[in-house]
Amino acid sequence: MRRVIKNLISALVALMFVNAAHAAGELHIFNWGDYTNPDLIAKFEQMYDVKVTITDYDSNETALSKVRPGGHGFDIAVPTSSHIPIWIEEGLLMQTNPNEMPNFVHVAEQWRNPDWEPGRNYSVPWTWGSTGISVNTAMYGGEINTSELFFSPPDELHGRINIVPEMNDVMNMAIMYEGGQPCTTDKEVLMRVRDTVMAAKENWKSIDYGTKEKLVSGDVAVSMNWNGYSKRAREENPDIAFGYPKQGYPLWMDNVAVLADAKNVENAKLFQNFLMDPENAAMISAFAQYANGIAGSEAYMPADLASAPEIAIPAELQSAGVFVPPCPPEAQQLYTAIWTEVQK
Amino acid sequence: MSEVQVRRKQFAVRKLPGFQSTAVLCFVLLYAPIAALVIYSFNAGTNIALWEGFSLKWYHVAWQNEQVQEVTIRSFIIASVASFSATLLATLAALGTTRTENYRGRTAIYALINQPLMVPEIVTGVALLIFFAIIKTVTGYHGLFYLMLAHTAFCIPFAYLPIRARLEGMDISLETAAQDLYATPWMTFRRITLPLLWPGVLAGAMLAFVISLDDVVITELVKSAGQDTLPTYMLGQLRRGVTPEVNAISSALLGVSILLVSLFYILRNR
Amino acid sequence: MAETENTSSVLAAQSHQVAIEASRRNKIRNFRLLSMPALIVLTIGAAGPLLIMLVYSFLKAAPYGGVVWEPSIDGWFGVFLKKDIFDGTISIATAHLSILWRSVNLSIQSTLLALILGFPTAYFIATRSVQTRNLWLFLITIPFWTNLLIRTFAIMQVIRDQGIINNFLIGWGLIESPIEMLYTDFAIMLGMTYVYLPLMVLPLYASIEKLDFRLVEAAYDLYATRLRVLWRIIIPLVRPGIVAGSILVFVPSLGAYVTPRVLGGGKHLMLGNLIELQFGQGRNWPLGAALSIFLLCVVMGALLIYVRVAQRGTTEHV
């Protein structure tokens, strides 16, 4: 008996230290779940003889709360454009100057000096996309480039609408629908927003993720959705189209940045540079089904991806897309109050 | 054959009307979604909501996916360690809170033991995140130990309550008798108390195992680099929508566990 | 019944008792120490860090999540009261109340349903032959070896509009259009019952298994009906199991997060979701902390009363 216990304990101790063992080169990436191409990682591992671990998160808030107190062991995180200013302001990112890296020349002009991070001293592009409307055109034949489908839907869509549970996306889309600016604290606009959303919610079937299953199976005819997921749904059901609300819709970009308390800084920098190579950026897109910010990567992408209607935004609707900044706390408080009221 | 048994045949003492059919109904309800899960693991399509014909595709995909295997194994390691230690601690605590006269502070101990049940996981998770971050920064150690500790802690009440329910009102005359015969306390425990307590311990251990295996929120907040478990891996997939790959893993695990259990059962009853 | 037994045995026991009194007192003290390891682990791994939350609930919210180290009661204010965002009037936080009410209501329903299903099942298992009991127990837990999310999705598969139940009913011509079950409060209740069922069955089993059927037999010999036997003999004897099972189902249901979101379709918040919202997109950690400490106090108070009431009598039985 005693021997058994002894053996068990030593096995456990051994097991606990397996993780702590340090290999020659390591890199610990903290990224959104189901977002990182394993082939891309294998290529990087082989090229630089580095052992990479990928750990998942499911929201910007989770990522931020985990990194903020320190001691997490990650070297790299991939915050969204709307959160990058927060990370920088709180001193969580390391200034690695990607703008001086050799591969920076491949970054497309429009992403070199984005509003959320002028000059790109911290991060390199991962992917970008839009939050819009997926419509099953076999079930609904009307105009799809309008957020009326969420906020004042025609009778035939009542009870056939899904909204993703992303408070900021929903609120900002509703604000733009009511003619306001994202992150507004204008009480008049917000009162209209509240009334609109409260009334519209009666016609929503669900507020949930899993948009693809719901659309493909016909549980819902319309869903708020991200463009890349809409493309995946279209691959299973050709009737599913993606609309860009003319009243305004959120755009976003996820960006790869090195953490201030990273242990493997050199490998992390190598990785940033590696990602700006068009061939590698194409691998990101091929897996995640979103556009990346690297010029010339289209040449290495699967043929259907670069020209997909979910990725190439029609010219007349481009101006309606807005990169939402991090909303100030006052706005956030108002939105939470409305959102709670809506779901009470 | 004793007289009692003969009489039992005429009048089933243990039988209560409707109980058997309710139990059967309960098992059907339990296994209906599981059946759906297994069936859809053989789906040829990529959608868990739409049947597109039979295929072993997803088993193949899961077999090729190293990350899924890694997180599954990690889940089982953590669940085994946590359920073992939680059951051990809970058994001791159950003895310590029932085998005594009422003493001051017993209610407080009872409340403390059940505390992990009473706050939503997110709260314990955030608190542990902040607390462990300090320890991690100071010691520089990032291993699985933190997850095991956290899991052990929140598994304790799940193991404790069934064991305590079993202990409560258990006849202690046998133990007293053993002690009168000069059995050491350890002997008494091993030969008398533990065998009597065993069903409770088993129930507690099973619960703890299942609870640990299921945990998402606390694990998500406590994990360090490279420590995804199956649930947190799936949480990451939630936005995009899960593929039947996870159904395949679950079904395979189900198959293995049923196989092991029946093997164990057959061997024991030979 | 217990009383008569006691009085008859008291005299015999008394002399014996005096003899071992001293050693027993010692033993009891030692027994108390047995709780220590568990308490230490709980203090480090669960309860202790919760003090951080208590402190946080009295601090100011930082702009982007987290707290600023400045004392404030805004968090607690927000639990009970709300300041209208448009006209600034202060009123009771009705949204929080209705969410609390929904959580309590659905949790009670789930607990009752789990008890109604779980009790006969546990009884059934406990009355099988000794060799097969553990097998049945495993059969109860095996479905729960698959991940919670996957199980929840599987339930969705069964109750959705084009799901198994509806297809079956329509196929047999029993109904014409699908019954809407998914994304309702009913679905949440059903889902929570399903998810927490083993938490009811296992403690019940542990209690019923030690039931002395001679007592049941004696009752039948005295011409008691089956219902009366169940009500007056069996249920009082297995009460500790019912108490344990009900706690294990009710309390986690109150803070449930995944089930309401997936099966309820997220249209209605439950307490767990409300608290999660504050720590997540709402970026109001003090309010989240205050809400959860409030929940903790409510549950703990209710639990202590429940345990005290439910145990009245049982402790004297033996």
Task: Decide: B19 and C229 in contact? Cβ < 8 Å.
Answer: no
What is the b/e burial string over B119-141, where b = at least 16 CB atoms within 10 angstroms of the residue's CB?
Answer: bbbbbbbbbbbbbbbeebeeeeb
Are C202 and C104 in the same domain? yes
Residue C10 has pLDDT above 70, yes or no: no
Binned at pLDDT 50, 70 and 90, residue A38 comes out as very high
B136:A211 CB<8 A: no
Angle at A120 between CA A118 and CA A121, to 5 degrees: 110
B19:C120 CB<8 A: yes
Contacts of B143 in chain A (CB under 8 A): 16-17, 19-20
Query: What integer pLDDT is reported at residue C28 of this predicted model?
Result: 58
- Does residue C120 sit within a domain? yes
Whether chain C has a CB inside 8 Å of the CB on A332: the answer is yes
Query: What integer pLDDT is reported at residue C218 of this predicted model?
Result: 86
Query: Consecutive sets of 10 residues in chain B, 270 residues long: mean pLDDT of each?
Result: 48 79 90 87 78 85 85 92 95 85 76 84 87 89 92 93 81 79 83 86 87 88 91 80 79 81 71
Are C28 and C97 in the same domain? no
Q: How far apart are the C-alpha atoms of B241 and A207, rounded to whole Å?
A: 14
- Does residue B24 sit within a domain? no
Binned at pLDDT 50, 70 and 90, residue C316 comes out as very low
- Does residue C52 sit within a domain? no
Shortest Cα distance, chain B CAs vs residue C60, angstroms: 17
Are C170 and C259 in the same domain? yes
Q: What is the pLDDT of residues A47-84, one digit of tens each?
A: 999 999 999 998 898 899 999 988 899 999 999 999 99
- Does residue B232 sit within a domain? yes
- Does residue C54 sit within a domain? no
Are C21 and C167 in the same domain? no
At A309, which amino acid appears? P
Nearest residue in C to B37, CA atom: C154
For residue B97, the domain's CATH number is 1.10.3720.10
Are C246 and C133 in the same domain? yes
Q: How far apart are the C-alpha atoms of C109 and C193, rounded to whole Å?
A: 9
Structure tokens at A64: 């931020």
> Between these two residues, C119 and B17, which has the higher pLDDT value?
C119
- Does residue B87 sit within a domain? yes
Contacts of A58 in chain B (CB under 8 A): 220, 235-236, 238-239
Q: What is the pLDDT of residues C152-211, one digit of tens each?
A: 888 888 888 878 888 888 888 888 888 888 888 999 999 999 988 988 998 899 889 888
- Does residue B78 sit within a domain? yes
Residue A21 has pLDDT above 80, yes or no: no
* Location of structure tokens 């068990």: A8
Contacts of C261 in chain A (CB under 8 A): 165, 208
Touching partners of A (3+ C-beta pairs < 8 Å): B, C
- Does residue B34 sit within a domain? no
Q: What is the pLDDT of residues C277-311, one digit of tens each?
A: 898 888 899 999 999 888 888 888 887 787 777 66
Are C7 and C152 in the same domain? no
Domain count, chain B: 1
C274:A340 CB<8 A: yes
Are C209 and C275 in the same domain? yes
Domain count, chain C: 2
> Between these two residues, A230 and C215, which has the higher pLDDT value?
A230
Nearest residue in B to A230, CA atom: B240
> Which residues are CB-neighbours of C95 under 8 A, at least 6 positions away?
A340, A341, A344, C82
Query: What integer pLDDT is reported at residue A40 of this predicted model?
Result: 96
Contacts of A201 in chain C (CB under 8 A): 267
Averaged over A231-246, what is the pLDDT? 92
- The whole domain housing B235 covers 61-268
Q: What is the pLDDT of residues A288-305, one digit of tens each?
A: 999 999 999 999 998 888
What angle, rounded to 10 degrees, do the helices at C148-159 and B244-268 form? 110
Spacing of C-alpha B141 from chain mean position: 28
A207:C279 CB<8 A: no
A244: exposed, middle or buried (Cβ count in 10 Å: 0-12, 13-18, 19+): buried
Residue C82 has pLDDT above 70, yes or no: yes
Query: What integer pLDDT is reported at residue C21 of this predicted model?
Result: 59
> Which residues are CB-neighbours of A73 under 8 A, at least 6 positions away?
A28, A263, B136, B142, B224, B225, B226
Residue C81 has pLDDT above 60, yes or no: yes
Residue C70 has pLDDT above 70, yes or no: yes
Structure tokens at A140: 């609904």
Q: How far apart are the C-alpha atoms of C73 and C55, rounded to whole Å?
A: 11
C281:A337 CB<8 A: no
> Between these two residues, C276 and A19, which has the higher pLDDT value?
C276
- Does residue C60 sit within a domain? no
Residue ranges and CATH numbers for the domains of chain A are: 2-128+252-306 (3.40.190.10), 133-251+316-342 (3.40.190.10)
Binned at pLDDT 50, 70 and 90, residue A120 comes out as very high
Query: What integer pLDDT is reported at residue C89 of this predicted model?
Result: 81
Nearest residue in A to B45, CA atom: A236
Whether chain A has a CB inside 8 Å of the CB on B137: the answer is yes
For residue C199, the domain's CATH number is 1.10.3720.10
Contacts of A30 in chain B (CB under 8 A): 225
- The whole domain housing C104 covers 92-317
Partner residue facing B126 (CB), from A34, A65, A73? A65
Average per-residue pLDDT for chain A = 90
Query: What integer pLDDT is reported at residue A5 of this predicted model?
Result: 52
- Does residue B44 sit within a domain? no
B219: exposed, middle or buried (Cβ count in 10 Å: 0-12, 13-18, 19+): buried
SS3 call for A136:
strand
User: Does ipTM come in above 0.90?
Assistant: no
Are C117 and C8 in the same domain? no
Partner residue facing B227 (CB), from A17, A35, A55? A55
> Between these two residues, A174 and C131, which has the higher pLDDT value?
A174
**In chain B, positions 238-267, which contact chain C (CB-CB < 8 Å)?**
238, 242, 246-247, 250, 253-254, 257-258, 261, 265
- Does residue B3 sit within a domain? no
Residue A27 has pLDDT above 70, yes or no: yes
Query: What integer pLDDT is reported at residue C13 of this predicted model?
Result: 53
- Does residue C159 sit within a domain? yes
**In chain B, positions 208-227, which contact chain C (CB-CB < 8 Å)?**
209-210, 213-214, 216-217
Residue C18 has pLDDT above 60, yes or no: no
Are C28 and C106 in the same domain? no
- Does residue C78 sit within a domain? no
Residue A11 has pLDDT above 80, yes or no: no
- Does residue B20 sit within a domain? no
